[in-house]
């Protein structure tokens, strides 16, 4: 018993050194988009938002190679900010000295490729941090249907100081542009109430008789195209949806 008591302090010191030298992450390593979900229930055309790409719960990280993409039909790239190294960015990843390997934005294809590594005598990085942030503008909000836009981490590679791959999960992001409420005056559903909508009603004015040919002209669906239908369109003239 006395022998155990005598060596106990030494054992505790040894264990504390092990933890200091090689800390263990609290869970599985993840490369993710944060926030994972951006939602717009009203017309978001022209609105800006920013997401961060993060590495979470990593141990002995020494380099990364990440490829990211978005849908250019709906989103325009605005800017990005790289958070490397941690010495400069308190929320970043990797330690100085570092070697930038790749930093390429393709706004036409909607892709971004970034790769960095530390170099000797930099220590390994442990924990969680932001690799980069990226800001987008919503360029098109479809009026009649909901758009689910993937912010995709389509290739991710992490390496430790021994050049071994670090297993990790990937969590993509999503931008949801919900279908917009229909403007009753936009009878041809082109997103704007204009002279085209007026003409559609005017061509059917007074019908029936004869039967209504273009049923869109009966805006209030009472079976006749009259001044009421014209007024509904006129009240919303110039509006967009």
Range of the domain at 45: 28-177
**H-helix segments, the chain:** 2-21, 195-202, 227-235
**212 in the same domain as 134:** no
Number of domains, the chain: 2
What is the C-alpha separation between 118 and 171, in angstroms, rounded?
A: 24
**161 in the same domain as 105:** yes
Let me know: does 201 contact 220? Beta carbons within 8 Å: no
- C-alpha distances (whole Å) from 217 to each of 66, 81, 193, 210, 241 are 53, 51, 13, 14, 19
Per-residue tens of pLDDT for the chain, all 241 residues: 443 344 333 333 322 333 333 344 446 999 999 999 999 998 899 999 999 999 999 999 999 999 999 999 999 999 999 999 999 999 999 999 999 999 999 999 999 999 999 999 999 999 999 999 999 999 998 877 899 999 999 999 999 999 999 999 999 999 999 988 778 888 887 778 999 999 999 999 988 888 888 888 899 889 999 999 999 999 999 988 6
Q: Specify the DSSP element, H or E, that contains 77.
A: strand 75-82
Q: Tell me the pTM.
A: 0.72
**135 in the same domain as 189:** no
What is the C-alpha separation between 131 and 65, in angstroms, rounded?
A: 10
**129 in the same domain as 214:** no
């Amino acid at each position: 018993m006395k022998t155990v008591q005598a060596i106990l302090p030494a054992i505790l010191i040894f264990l504390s050194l092990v933890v200091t030298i090689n800390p263990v992450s609290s869970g599985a390593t993840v490369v993710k988009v944060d926030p994972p979900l951006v939602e717009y229930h009203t017309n978001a055309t022209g609105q800006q938002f920013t997401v961060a790409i993060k590495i979470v719960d990593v141990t002995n990280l020494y380099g990364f190679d990440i490829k990211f993409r978005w849908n250019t039909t709906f989103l325009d790239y605005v800017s990005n900010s790289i958070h490397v190294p941690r010495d400069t960015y308190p929320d970043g990843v990797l330690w100085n000295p570092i070697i930038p390997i790749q930093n390429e934005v393709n706004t036409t294809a909607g892709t971004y490729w970034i790769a960095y590594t530390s170099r000797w005598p930099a220590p390994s990085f442990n924990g969680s941090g932001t690799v980069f942030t990226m800001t987008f503008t919503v360029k098109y909000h479809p009026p009649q249907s909901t758009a689910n836009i993937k912010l995709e981490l389509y290739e991710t590679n992490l390496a430790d100081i021994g050049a071994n791959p670090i297993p990790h999960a990937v969590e993509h992001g999503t931008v949801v542009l919900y279908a917009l409420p229909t403007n009753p005056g936009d009878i041809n559903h082109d997103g704007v109430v204009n002279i085209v909508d007026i003409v559609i009603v005017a061509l059917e004015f007074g019908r029936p008789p004869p039967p209504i040919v273009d049923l869109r002209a009966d805006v209030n669906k009472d079976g006749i195209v009259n001044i009421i239908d014209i007024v509904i369109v006129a009240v919303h003239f110039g509006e967009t949806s």
